[in-house]
């Protein structure tokens, strides 16, 4: 599947950028119109966190989608989607620090230590930060092969994000969406594990033949 380069650069990629901002526009409009329900702070914080996880899953989807469809240009959306995950994750964090805790650092520290879903959420954000800071070409050139090793952090941080969302929802008896995200993450990670096992198996099958020929 191919998209013409001028169309991709001038239309498709900007359209994805605008669509990625729509959740924030919706939240801002809902807050302005006072349509975010009985607990708007919870709605804002929860929605921003959920969109963070969605963008992480979309970022992980790009490579399997390319392998399945041959859509090479999709890889060029991966950095933008990852940065949007960090953008929404940062807003999610600050909505908690500001709207929920009013920058009461003592209470925030207690939350981190005593509430597991806060602990894993903070850890996920810490893992996501170096990925965002090194997502640019200059950092890629400077880090070389270490850049790819660093960016494998997306796997544990996404798992932590899913766990964060699961524990939060479990405390409020809303498990349908966390279950869906967990299944999607399991599929995306499972595809990668399957490919790795295939490569490992192929290497083992080729090795005896190579030894016989030698």
The tens digit of pLDDT for each residue in 17-47 reads: 999 999 999 999 999 988 888 889 999 999 9
Q: Which residue has the tokens 């270490």?
A: 146
Distance (Å, rounded) from C-alpha 139 to C-alpha 48? 27
pLDDT band (50, 70, 90) for residue 182: very high
pLDDT band at 8 (very low <50, low <70, confident <90, very high): low
Look up the pTM and report it: 0.87
36, 30 Cβ separation under 8 angstroms = yes
Distance CA 33, CA 14 (A): 28
Q: Say what the pLDDT of residue 212 is.
A: 46
pLDDT of residue 214: 39
Domain map (residue ranges) of the chain: 5-213
Over residues 178-182, mean pLDDT: 91
Query: What is the arithmetic mean of pLDDT over 129-134?
Result: 94
Summary mean pLDDT of the chain: 86
For residues 156 and 143, what is the distance between their CA atoms, to the nearest angstrom? 21
CA-to-CA distance for 209 and 49, rounded, in angstroms? 51
**Per-residue model confidence as pLDDT tens digits over 36-84:** 888 899 999 999 999 999 999 999 999 998 888 887 777 888 999 999 9
Q: What confidence tens digit (pLDDT) does each residue in 78-125 have?
A: 999 999 999 999 999 999 999 888 899 999 999 999 999 999 999 999
pLDDT at position 74:
77
pLDDT of amino acid 169: 77
């Amino acid at each position: 599947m191919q998209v013409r380069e001028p169309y991709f650069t001038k239309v498709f990629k900007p359209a994805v950028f605008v669509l990625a901002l729509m959740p924030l526009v919706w939240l801002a409009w809902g807050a302005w119109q006072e349509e975010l329900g009985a607990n708007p702070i919870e709605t804002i914080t929860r929605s921003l966190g959920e969109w963070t996880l969605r963008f992480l899953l979309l970022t992980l989807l790009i490579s399997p989608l390319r392998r399945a469809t041959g859509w090479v240009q999709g890889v060029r959306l991966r950095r933008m989607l990852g940065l949007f995950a960090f953008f929404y994750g940062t807003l999610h964090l600050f909505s908690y620090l500001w709207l929920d805790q009013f920058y009461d650092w003592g209470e925030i520290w207690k939350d981190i230590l005593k509430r597991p879903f806060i602990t894993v959420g903070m850890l996920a954000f810490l893992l996501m930060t170096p990925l965002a800071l090194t997502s640019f070409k200059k950092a890629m050139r400077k880090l070389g092969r270490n850049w790819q090793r660093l960016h494998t952090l997306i796997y544990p941080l996404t798992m932590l994000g899913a766990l964060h969302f699961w524990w939060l929802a479990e405390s409020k008896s809303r498990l349908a969406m966390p279950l869906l995200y967990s299944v999607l993450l399991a599929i995306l990670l499972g595809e990668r594990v399957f490919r790795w096992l295939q490569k490992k198996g192929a290497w083992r099958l080729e090795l005896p033949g190579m030894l016989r020929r030698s």
